[in-house]
Structure 1
Amino acid sequence: MLSSRRSRQVLRNCGVLATVLSATVACSSSTSGHGKGGRVHLAFIYSTTSQNPFQEMAFGAKAAAQDAGNVDLTESAPPKIDGPAEVSQFQAATRTSTDGIAMETLNPDLFVRPLKQASDAKVPVVAVDTAPPDGTAVGLYIGNSNTELGRSLATEIIKHIPVGTTGEVVLGNDIPGLALLGQRLDGMKQVIQAERPTLTVLGPFDSGSEPTENFNKWNDLVKAHPNAVAYLGAGASDAVSLALIEKNTGKKFLVGSCDPDAQALQAVKNGYAAALASPEHWLKGYVALALLAQHASTGQALPQGWWNTGSLIINSDNIDQIIDRQSSEASRKAWFAAEVKKQLADPAQYLKPMNQAN
């Protein structure tokens, strides 16, 4: 449980956040929106309820809806990654959440037609985490730079690898073909090849997305490359799986991965993983819902382009702070309060053209 001092700080920060968003979505007599003067009906549609990245985005969306005060939020996702099921949920939301939808998907190609249907029905859509597919009218994408995320993780990992070291670095890709994970891995390769050219980068190999599959595939990869200098993953399950393999074998690996999954954080805390690169998914969910609520309540146009919400390296220096941050929805909200205020106050600082998203 949070200490009384920490609890008071949470309440103060959450109060600031609510005040900022309430001001952001206050109704204007000179503009019009679907929700003007009444309840706003919004939705967050995402890939799966089973994995940390998507749970984090949902927590952020829920917090923004609560702070807006006039939002009825529907959150929908399949229990496991299932593109067609998510499409059905999105299409249902276009009929019930007509004031706006924030959408995250791992199957963007399946959404070309559904997004056109939403546009034809004049339902505003904001893409979250995954850039919208080409040929759609979605004009706002909320997401971090995944190339930079990969570069920052590799930069942290090579601190543990002396210059001139030889050997293999094994890369794993949870969802081969998904552009954002490919960008993370490209960023990792760029840094390793430039800063530690004596290392041999292998992969990326398919490491599987669902936890059990991910563990089995990493187990096979470790057996095939038992003396690798480092094992790096692009997704949420990789550090969790590799930490378990370390425990099972009694061997110590140099491990880096992405996303602040609770078990991955514990792996850093216990020394089984050197670092995690967090895309700060909570912030993406919050910003997307806050902007949709503002648009619906005031009629103010949605920003256009790629809104880069940023990322964070988690290591032994800040692991205790991040574990504390991740302990509850309230502690997440308190942690991000100042950053939310800063970003919503100056959108231009965070926006770039959509085609620059990386």
Structure 2
Amino acid sequence: MSRAAGTRRRRTVAAGALSMASLLVMSACSSSDSGSSQSGAAGGSCGTADKKLNMAFVYADTTQNPFQEMALGAKAAADDDGNVKLQLSAPTGIDGPKEVSLFQAVARTATDGVAYETVTPDLFVRPLNSATDADVPVIAVDAAPPPGTKVKTFVANSNTKLGELLGDAYVAQHPKADGQIVLGNDIPSLQLLVQRLDGLQSVLRAKLPNAKVVGPLDSKSSPTDNFNAWKSIVQAHPDATAFIGVGGQDGVSLPLIGKQTGRSYLAGSADLPPEAVQAVKDGKIFALSSPEHWMKGYIAMHLLIQAKRTCKPVPEGWWNSGNLLVDKSNVDSILARQKSPESRRAWFKKEIDKQLADPPLAPLGKAD
């Protein structure tokens, strides 16, 4: 081979190598740009933008309305994404140790994120730390994460405000100024119910200073126990002007007891069991102060999903998901809202968009 031919051959090989290198760089840039566009994440591609996500919502009880509403909200958020395998897991009846076991089980499989709600938060310290130490994203719903855990996001309403709304609704009934008001607490050990009662009693003290407030008395949580407890309380207070509870079952039991006994009294409660909402419509309950549980479940699951879709951290702090007072002025719209999963989603869409556009976040320590 001549010296000139050899030189031409070396130049051809070098040019080919440079061309291949250029193609590889262009391909890498194109891949990076495509991934960034799909994920919406700043700074590069997001590996979970289009992945099938494994997630879970763990809650306290399959049988009671407040917990069912949260689960429906979580499912709606997963359905809206369309590519989430969601595990809904709860004991049948409140059972803290059983719920802990369920949480531990799903935390091993729902590694893309777990939202949880419990009425026994103190039992969750070790399970929560085990999950977060394994890099499973976790959001607390309804009840604040217990001290000693690394859960940094909490989605819940202001329970103090919920109690204040209920107190103002009672005052609006123009009750006897020095009448007897008997208060009930479904789960006395649960801080969020204590906060509701604190808000309620602050309004009663300020606006009805001469009222005789009794309690709060233990009105139990499960449907049968709640009915029996309230029946005994009503019988023990024959001169009471009003009976007001702050749990999910009170608005079901109190109208039934009034009907059975023929007693006439004002009754108010929290949460939205169908029977209680109908009792508002029928004039048997003056108001229900709703913690908007569906909204909590939706927002918590949406935040977990979006964190994976964008590869950005879950927002930290207390996300105040809001309250709603249900009385005769709006009960028809709420009855319509509560008819189906689809009607709930349609009704809440405006509020979801509002909160996502302007997140109602505050430090965890401000949650009340």
| TM-score normalized by the length of structure 1 | 0.90
Aligned-pair distance for 1:120? 1.0
Specify the SS of the correspondent of 1:160: coil
- Structure 2 residue aligned with 1:272: 284
- Structure 1 residue aligned with 2:188: 176
Supply the AA of the counterpart residue of 1:105.
T
Aligned-pair distance for 1:161? 2.7
- The 5 Å alignment of 1:73-84 reads 73-84=86-97
Specify the SS of the correspondent of 1:98: coil
From 263, 273, 291, the equivalent of 1:251 is: 263
| Alpha-carbon distance change, 236 to 186 in structure 1, aligned in 2, over 3 angstroms | same
Aligned-pair distance for 1:198? 0.7
Per-residue Cα deviation, 1:195-248 (whole angstroms, up to 9, x for no partner): 000101111000000000000000000011112111110101101100001111
From 183, 201, 211, the equivalent of 2:223 is: 211
Aligned-pair distance for 1:142? 0.2
From 351, 355, 358, the equivalent of 2:365 is: 355
Matched, 1:233 2:245: yes
Residues 35 and 99 in structure 1, CA contact (< 8 A), matched pair in contact too: no
Supply the AA of the counterpart residue of 2:260.
N
| 5+ residue gaps, structure 1 | 1-24
Distance 1:322 1:129 in 2: 21
Specify the SS of the correspondent of 1:302: coil
- Structure 2 residue aligned with 1:115: 128
Per-residue Cα deviation, 1:228-281 (whole angstroms, up to 9, x for no partner): 111110101101100001111122210110001100011111111100000000
Distance 2:118 2:44 in 1: 32
- Structure 2 residue aligned with 1:52: 65
Residues 32 and 297 in structure 1, CA contact (< 8 A), matched pair in contact too: no
From 112, 117, 121, the equivalent of 1:104 is: 117
Distance 1:264 1:64 in 2: 26
Supply the AA of the counterpart residue of 2:165.
S
- Structure 1 residue aligned with 2:197: 185
Specify the SS of the correspondent of 1:229: strand
Distance 2:120 2:96 in 1: 6
| TM-score normalized by the length of structure 2 | 0.88
> 26-35 or 171-180, which moves further after superposition?
26-35
Per-residue Cα deviation, 1:134-154 (whole angstroms, up to 9, x for no partner): 111100000000000001101
Distance 1:92 1:335 in 2: 34
| Alpha-carbon distance change, 34 to 233 in structure 1, aligned in 2, over 3 angstroms | farther
Q: Could you tell me the percent identity over the aligned residues? A: 53
The structure whose Rg is larger is 2
Supply the AA of the counterpart residue of 2:352.
V
- The 5 Å alignment of 1:1-358 reads 27-28=39-40, 30=43, 35-162=48-175, 165-347=177-359, 350-358=360-368
Distance 1:28 1:335 in 2: 28
Supply the AA of the counterpart residue of 2:325.
I
| Alpha-carbon distance change, 226 to 137 in structure 1, aligned in 2, over 3 angstroms | same
Query: RMSD over aligned Cα, in angstroms?
Result: 1.4
| 5+ residue gaps, structure 2 | 1-36
Runs (4+) off by over 6 Å: none
Aligned-pair distance for 1:31? 5.2
| Alpha-carbon distance change, 53 to 32 in structure 1, aligned in 2, over 3 angstroms | farther
Supply the AA of the counterpart residue of 1:67.
D
Distance 2:190 2:352 in 1: 28
Residues 288 and 327 in structure 2, CA contact (< 8 A), matched pair in contact too: yes
Q: Which has the higher contact order (CA 8 A, sep 6+)?
A: 1
Distance 1:268 1:330 in 2: 23
Supply the AA of the counterpart residue of 2:166.
L
| Alpha-carbon distance change, 213 to 31 in structure 1, aligned in 2, over 3 angstroms | farther
Supply the AA of the counterpart residue of 1:140.
T
Residues 39 and 46 in structure 2, CA contact (< 8 A), matched pair in contact too: no
> 179-188 or 164-173, which moves further after superposition?
164-173
Per-residue Cα deviation, 1:166-221 (whole angstroms, up to 9, x for no partner): 12110000001100000000111100011000101111000000000000000000
